[in-house]
Amino acid sequence: MQQVDFSSVRKRARHPLGFAIIALMLVSACGVITPSSQRVAFDGHFFKTKVKQVDKKASPTDFTVLVNDVSTSLDGARAAAQHEAIKFCIANFGSSRIDWAVGPFTETEKLRISDDKITFIGRCRRP
């Protein structure tokens, strides 16, 4: 009868487990590594936006949206601001309804544009 060397079998058995652990780590990090894959283009451009609550305690539904590089496309910047505001309101208050003080549909002359940035002001309406 032939003898089998089990030491080599044990060494090979470790590799699939190690491979599985590494594969799980890579898959779980996909969202962290490539968040740009979730970016949305507006009028053919990507805009850096920032939504910020005005005062979390006194008026949590009031917010501002700052959009950079407005000179690339005013229409795209308006759409990007509206998109980010809707995401913010849904995530925090469960509704996409917004009352705009200065918003995407405000006349161009009344918009707040400074240093190639535009600022919108709104309030999330609760459901």
pLDDT by 10-residue block (mean), the chain, 127 residues: 55 51 50 59 91 90 95 95 96 94 93 94 92
* Torsion angle (degrees, nearest 10) of CA 54, 61, 121, 67: 80
Q: What is the pLDDT of residue 126?
A: 85
In the chain, domain spans: 6-36, 37-124
Q: What is the pLDDT of residue 4?
A: 54
Q: What is the pLDDT of residue 112?
A: 87
